[in-house]
Structure 1
Amino acid sequence: MVKILIADDHAVVRGGLRQFLASTEDFDIVAEAATGQEALDMVRSSGCEVVLLDITLPDLNGLEVLKRIKQVKPTLPVLIFSMFSEDEFALPALNAGASGYLNKDSPPNQILAALRTVIGGARYVSPTLAERLLAGTVNAGKRLPHEALSQREMAVLLLLSKGVPLTQIADQLHLSVKTISTYRARILEKLDMHSNAEITRYVLQHKLG
């Protein structure tokens, strides 16, 4: 039995998937998460072999959760399961490390095909999206400003957004205050901002923290 973690903030969606997959012989839902943080915790503790991940979660953006999962378990297949159109989010999700993208209105046989494909180590896209990718008619998706930040800059961004003083950030990251000031200046430049308040608003808006 393949162990599945479902991360979706709607109990009815999780329940529907649980009921549907219980009728199969090869899948077992071992964990459910309603938030991004719960999903990250369960990735570490549940022993899951594949993740079904929604993009819209109450605390963290699903694509941010995806990136963090990949940092912890780079080889764990993550299948994005979303109500958003493939046109808007499929390519950004695949570029961020997703093994596949599935719309929530997909028929049951397509859900099973997607799960079996990603568990087998391949990437999954719907037949419709595959045709459009070959035709070159899919929107590549907008790159968000914070995607240009390095891992260290991202760490500093999140700490700044929580109001942590530069001296404390320096202590936490084992760097000098001068180096942290340089990181802050780079972050402001890359995000086209001028203050920590703007950073906080940005992090809240994009559910990064």
Structure 2
Amino acid sequence: MIRVLLADDEAMIRAGVAAILAADEGIEVVAEAADGREAIERARSTRPDVALLDIRMPRLDGLSAAAEIRKLVPETAVIILTTFGEDAYIARALGDGASGFLLKSGDPRELIAGVRAVAEGAAFLSPKVAQRVIAQLPAGKLSRGAAAREQVAALTEREREVLALVGSGLSNADIAKKLFVVEGTVKAYVSAILNRLGAKNRVQAAIVAYEAGLVA
């Protein structure tokens, strides 16, 4: 059973998200919070598998709450809920360990898929969110796409294959099944990929995969 903490200052949104998650028998909402401070307290007391956080909340915003939860309860994966009006803030969460980004207006199936993916240790980016995140990232001397392709070119063929699957939101276990290797081998590949890309986490690696065109 995947245990979820749901934090949003709008009771109707919480009720709607909880109803969607309840459709999956393998997911249980174990705690709810109406602001960032309460979300941190609930995370510490219930230690959920996944914390689903709105960005704009009173007392403490979702991004700050996400960073604090990752420090205090590192076993809890964090998904950020966003709207298109808030996407400029998402890049800030990349360095704070968020594992997923979902649109409130997105397909309900994406919500369930995202919760399941991050609970299994994968990264999950709603395709529309990924496009907006990439657009918000600062440009360097090369275009972001060209820079990403240059980074990816330094990887081995197998590492590029694994990176594409990471970008698609697959967990290590799923990648292992797809490539017919043991999970420990996938972990070694992912670790090497993060190191060679200079990425702090799977989400940053997934962004590179998107930018390089490895993921549609």
Deviations, residues 17-56 of structure 1 (Å, cap 9, x unaligned): 1222212111000100001111111111113111000110
Q: Tell me, yes or no, if the aligned pair for 1:93 and 1:101 is still in contact at 8 Å.
A: no
- Pairwise CA distance, 1:85: 4.5
Which residue identity is paired with 1:139? Q
Matched with 2:11 is: 11
Which residue identity is paired with 2:55? I
Deviates most, 60-69 or 83-92 = 83-92
Deviations, residues 54-106 of structure 1 (Å, cap 9, x unaligned): 11011112111111111102231000012245741332222221111111101
Matched with 2:111 is: 111
Q: Cα–Cα, structure 1 residues 12 and 129, in superposed 2: closer, same or farther, change >3 Å?
A: closer
- Pairwise CA distance, 1:130: 4.2
Q: Tell me, yes or no, if the aligned pair for 1:92 and 1:140 is still in contact at 8 Å.
A: no
Matched with 1:139 is: 136
Q: Cα–Cα, structure 1 residues 6 and 132, in superposed 2: closer, same or farther, change >3 Å?
A: closer
Which runs of 5 or more structure 2 residues have no equivalent in the other structure? 139-216
- Pairwise CA distance, 1:123: 1.0
Larger radius of gyration: 1
Q: Tell me, yes or no, if the aligned pair for 1:35 and 1:58 is still in contact at 8 Å.
A: yes
CA distance in 2, matches of 1:60, 1:84: 20
CA distance in 1, matches of 2:124, 2:86: 12
Which residue identity is paired with 1:126? S
CA RMSD, aligned part only? Answer: 1.9
Matched with 1:88 is: 88
Which residue identity is paired with 2:137? A
CA distance in 2, matches of 1:62, 1:87: 13
Which runs of 5 or more structure 1 residues have no equivalent in the other structure? 142-209
Deviates most, 93-102 or 51-60 = 93-102
Aligned length: 138
Which residue identity is paired with 1:36? G
TM-score, normalising length: structure 2:
0.59
